[in-house]
Structure 1
Amino acid sequence: MQLGDFNDLEVAREVDFGMYLTSDDGDLLLPRKYIPAGTRVGDVVRVFVYRDSEDRLIATNLEPYARVGQFAALSVRDVTPTGAYLDWGLEKDLLLPYRNQRRNLRPGERATVFVYLDETTDRIVASAKWEWFLSDQPYPGKEGDAADLFVAEETDLGYKVIVDGTHQGLLYHNEVFKPLRLGDVHTGYVRRVRPDGKLDLSLQKVGFDEALDVAEQLLAAIQKAGGTLPLSDKSEPDDIYRRLGISKKLFKKALGTLYKRGLVQLADDHTRLVDK
């Protein structure tokens, strides 16, 4: 049985307050409110297994925000002398011990953590020192590759992100043109693999592919607007960002691509599709 993950377990017996499931670690309770309708003794049910407030193994059919071995951005529900307790979608909150914190946290804050099984106590706990749990192997990809980017932390330079769940990268502020929130996952692209193994990243495709990708987005935006978009290469950067979520530099590249294809007419205050 995997503690801190989903398991397929057989129903051993039924009692007034629930059902006991059998496992290699002994029987554990599935409280009645979590029993799927029609479940009988002998059935196999899929449940998440963790420990209750008295450290007993217990099962639930609720989906936690993170399992053991995963990263997540979780809200602080309470702070006690033991540490911070995080809301992870289950009845019992997840402990973030003081030794695993970067700084003192307050209720209501969000923090990026890694969820793991403490080998000494056999309890599921969190660590805000998430970098410790990344791979120490060279990044297997190359410049231009697409990747899943988990937004982990904001810094003066930009956003630290976890790339494909294994490596650390950075999205620079001057290359991010939409709001980002801790825990967001976006498709991004590798701009550069640095000598220290960390990655410079972008939310847009790199180089020529980037211009083509944004050009298609711009064409779709003009079509959605009925064939005329109240933006031009003379528009203010803030106006372009508010409407399209891209920089003026990218907008002008995309506009040039569409113009060279003969798809748009340019004016001082708008861009219009060419009638075919």
Structure 2
Amino acid sequence: MQLGKTQSLKISEKNNSGWVLTDDSGEKAFLPKIFIPEEKEIGEEVEAFVYQDDDKLKATTEIPLAEVGEFAVMSCVQSLPSGAFMDWGIIKDLFIPYKQQKTKIIEGKRYLVYIYVEENMELITGTTKFKRNPQYEDLPFQKGDKVDLIMMNESELGWNVVINKKYIGLIYVSDVFKKLYPLSEETGYIKAIREDGKIDISLQPEGFENIDEFKQQILNKLEENYGLLYVSDKSSPEEIKAELQMSKKNFKKAIGGLYRDKIIDISEDKIKLL
């Protein structure tokens, strides 16, 4: 049975309290009656998340914030000298031992948590200690793929981010065009997968195939400013970033397209709607 994972299990027994679910190896987990979504017969399958409770395997049809091998932002519901209990999004709270806390976890505050199975005790455990920019193999990404991000922390190089709840990547300072906050969620794009297995992320899509998004962004800004913006292809990257939260490269592609479509006029120090 896959501990800390959602999986298909068969109903092997029923009683007044709930169902006994079994995997292909015969291992069992108990699904309490309150989590039974609909009536099923013995032998039918149920999608359930398996966790431990009082040294027993239990199941729930609730959806946890994250499974084993994933990251999630969680709130602390109780902090003790031995560790902290985090809101996991299911009936069971996730325990983070004190030794697995990067800094002492405080009740009521939110933290980025990684979930794993502790090898010695074989217990599902959380940690706020994790590697920065680890090396990966066989990544399920290609350059340009759209991904979900959780902002981790800012460094001299840029922002460390969690990608699709499973991987850690980096947004370089040169690719940051708006205010970012720790634990916030953003949309990003795979910029590069380096030979050492590290992942570079961009907050904006690259290439002419994505330029319509930037054209619309510029047009929206022009409309907000009565058809006039005091930036042009002569403006500095910093000026463009401050005004439009995009790179100068994407800005120049977008205004070039708008100019060819006879939607804007470009002057030495400004652009305006026609």
Secondary structure of 2:92's counterpart equals coil
Equivalent residue for 2:128?
A: 128
Give the deviation of 1:210 after TM superposition. 9.0
The answer as to whether partners of 2:71 and 2:115 remain within 8 angstroms in 1 is yes
Partner residue in 1 for 2:259: 259
Shift of 1:204: 1.8
Following superposition, the deviation at residue 56 of structure 1 comes to 1.3
Q: Aligned with 1:117: secondary structure? A: strand
**Cα offset, 1:154, TM superposition:** 1.8
Give the partner amino acid of 1:168: G
Distance 1:260 1:3 in 2: 58
TM-score normalised by L of structure 1: 0.75
> TM-score, normalising length from structure 2?
0.76
Structure 2 unaligned runs (5+)?
Answer: none
The partner residue of 2:229 within 223, 227, 232 is 232
- Contact 2:148–2:186 (8 Å) recurs in 1: yes
The correspondence of residues 167-178 of structure 1 with structure 2, limited to 5 A, is: 167-172=168-173, 175-177=176-178
In structure 1, the residue matched to 2:104 is 104
| 1:64-109 deviations in Å (ceiling 9; x for gaps) | 1111111222222221122122111111111112222211121232
Give the SS at the match of 2:131.
helix
Deviations 1:225-259 (A, max 9, x none): 59x85441259x999889x8624846852334422
3-state DSSP class of the match of 1:130? coil
Equivalent pair of 1:163/1:169 in contact (CA under 8 Å): no
| Percent of aligned positions that are identical | 28
Mapping of 1:191-202 within 5 angstroms? 193=194, 198-202=198-202
- Looking at structure 1, the residues matched to 239 and 51 of structure 2 have their Cα atoms a distance apart, in angstroms, of 50
> What is the Cα deviation at residue 200 of structure 1?
4.6
**For structure 1, which runs of at least 5 residues remain unmatched after alignment?**
none
Which stretch has the larger CA shift, 155-164 or 57-66?
Answer: 155-164
Question: Which residue in 2 is equivalent to 1:216?
Answer: 215
Residue 68 of structure 1 aligns to a residue in which SS? coil
Provide the aligned C-alpha RMSD in A: 4.0
Name the aligned partner's letter for residue 86 of structure 2: L
Corresponding position of 2:20: 20
Give the Cα–Cα distance (whole angstroms) in 1 for the partners of residues 16 and 112 of structure 2: 40
Q: Which residue of 1 aligns with 2:153?
A: 154
